[in-house]
Amino acid sequence: MQDKENLDLVSDTMEIIRKAAAAFKHYGGPLPDKVVLADDYILTEKSSWDELVTAYRLWDMGGWHAEARELKALSTWACKTVPANSAVGRFIHGAINEEEMVTQVALPLSATLEDRRLTILEVILRHAESGEEWKESLAGLMVANEITPEQVEEELVRRAVGKDKD
């Protein structure tokens, strides 16, 4: 199950990066040389991918209030840190879209076509649960993996009912 956890981590990370990108979308000012987290931990352009993702997660969970310029700096540094030829790097640099990135990440992780299909379904469900449009933007991915919008909607309802019982 570690492979599925890795794909889930990529999916979660991309979701946080999308949220951060929306938060700094209109910022065009200068970027700081360093970003100081809530616990006085300092990040710079030499920080590792893991450190940058940790900062994003801290921001996403409300543990650190970041300004738009700080989030944009983290994104800029992340683009330099991630290998440009990796699936995540190609996505961040705009060479592939999210559908292609998810497919490339999922392919080597899945032992069987059904495992791959279930992994892709999970990514689509996460996208749908985030409130973003998914039927049109992920239509090609769904067709390629024989996933119907009805199957996604049924699973969303099933999960919502399960949450209500908890």
Residue 10 has pLDDT above 80, yes or no: no
CB 122 within 8 A of CB 6: no
DSSP character at residue 35: E
Residue 121 clears pLDDT 80, i.e. is over it? yes
Label residue 33 by pLDDT band (50, 70, 90). very high
CA angle 19, 22, 28 (to 5 degrees): 135
Q: How confident is the model at residue 73 (pLDDT cuts 50, 70, 90)?
A: very high
Its pTM stands at 0.55
Kindly state the tokens that stand for 76: 């800029």
Q: Where are the domains of the chain?
A: 2-92, 112-165
Give how far the C-alpha of residue 158 lies from the chain's centroid of Cα atoms, to the nearest Å: 23
Q: Which of 43-47, 82-86, 91-95, 105-109 has the highest mean pLDDT?
A: 43-47
pLDDT at position 2: 43
Q: How confident is the model over 88-114, as pLDDT tens digits?
A: 777 766 787 766 776 666 555 445 667
Mean pLDDT, the chain, as a whole number?
79
Say if residue 65's pLDDT is above 60: yes
Model pLDDT, residue 110 = 47
Q: Please give the single-letter amino acid code of residue 62.
A: G
Does residue 137 surpass a pLDDT of 90? no
Q: What is the mean pLDDT of residues 2-22?
A: 70
